[in-house]
Amino acid sequence: MQVVLHAGAHNTDDDRLIKCLLRNRDDFRQRGIAVPGPSRYRRLIRDTLNAMSGSPLAPDARMVLLDAILDEDHPERLLLSNENFFSVPKLAVSKGVFYPRAELKLAQLSQIFDGDEVELFLAIRNPASFLPAVHANSPEMSFDDFMAGADPRDLRWSELVRRIRDHVPGLQITVWCNEDTPLIWAQIIREMAALEHNQKITGGFDLLSEIMTPAGMKRFRAYLKAYPNMNEIQKRRVIAAFLDKFAIEEEIEEELDLPGWTDDLVTELSDIYDDDVFEIGRIQGVTTIAP
C-alpha cells in the first residue's frame, strides 16, 4: 500500500486540502484511494507516536491502526493529512531549525507503516509571513520565546528537507510553495492521489474562489468553458492573468505586525526564501510542484 502523509506546514492550507480530498472521496474510492476523515486518525496516530517514545511498537500496530481508520479493504493508496504530524505550532522552530523533531516523527511513521511505500507532501512558506502566522497560534509565548534564540535569517526549509532525506532515506518527498498554491491547487490534489494530469477532480478551483472576486470567477469559468482543451500550463497562465485583474487584494496581501520587523528585513527574508526554494529543487529525490 502507498501511504501519503501531508504534514502542513502550519498555516499553509488550513485544512482546505483534506476538505477537497474528502469531496472527491467517492470517486477516489473507486480508484483504490482511501481518504478517511481526519477525526478517525489524527488523535490515534498522535497517541501511537507518543506511546512509541516509551515502549517498542506492538507487532500488530499497523493492522490495529488501519482497522480503526479504514472502511475499505486493502486500498492501494491511503491519504492522511495533519499539520501537526511534526509538532504543535509552538515547537515549529527550535534549535535554530524548522521542525527539529520532523525526522524522528517520520521515522516512527515509517516504522508503523513498515512494508508500505510512504510519501511526504509538504507545503513551505516564506519565513517572513510563516513565522508571525505560526507564532500567532501560540499567543501565550513571546515571539522571542517562540524563536528559541534562532535568527530568522538562518532558517532554511532546505535544511529540513535534507535532514528528512538523511534520516528517512526511502521516503518520497514532494514540496511546493504556499505562495503558488492557487495556481497549482488542482495539481497538488492529483499528485497526492496519483492521478493523471488531465483527470477531472471536484474542487480544483476552490482556493482560487477565495481570492478572486465573484465576477472574476464567473468570467474565468466562462473562459475555461470556451477553451476546454487547455493544458495545465496554459490554465495556470490564465489563472495568473485573471488574478492580476480580479484578485481580492485583502485576501492576497499579508500584514506583518511584529516589533522590529522592518521592510528591509522582510525583503531580506524573502530573497533568502527564493534562494532556498531553488536549493530544494536541487535536492536529489525530491519532487517540487511549481507553476
Q: For residue range 171-201, what is the model confidence (pLDDT) as tens digits?
A: 999 999 999 999 999 999 999 999 998 888 9
Assigned domain for 68 exists: yes
The boundaries of the domain holding residue 110 are 2-198+265-289
pLDDT at 198: 82
- Residue 49 phi/psi, 5-degree rounding, is -65, -40
pLDDT at 282: 96
CATH of the domain at 48: 3.40.50
Site of grid cell 513571546: 142
**Confidence label for 240 from pLDDT (cuts 50, 70 and 90):** very high
User: Is a pLDDT exceeding 90 seen at residue 102?
Assistant: yes
Please state the domain count of the chain.
Answer: 1
Neighbouring CB atoms inside 10 A of 55's CB total: 7
Assigned domain for 92 exists: yes
User: Is a pLDDT exceeding 80 seen at residue 253?
Assistant: no
Strand order through the sheet with 77-81? 33-34, 77-81, 2-6, 117-124, 172-177, 286-289
CB 6 within 8 A of CB 174: no
What is the rounded CA–CA span in Å between residue 21 and residue 277?
26
Which range has the worst mean pLDDT, 74-83, 132-141, 212-221, 244-253? 244-253
Assigned domain for 146 exists: yes
Assigned domain for 215 exists: no
Assigned domain for 15 exists: yes
Assigned domain for 206 exists: no
Structure-model confidence comparison of residues 192 and 229, the more confident one: 192
Assigned domain for 166 exists: yes
Q: What is the rounded average pLDDT of the residues 27-46?
A: 96
Assigned domain for 209 exists: no
What predicted TM-score, i.e. pTM, was given to this entire model?
A: 0.94
**Confidence label for 72 from pLDDT (cuts 50, 70 and 90):** confident
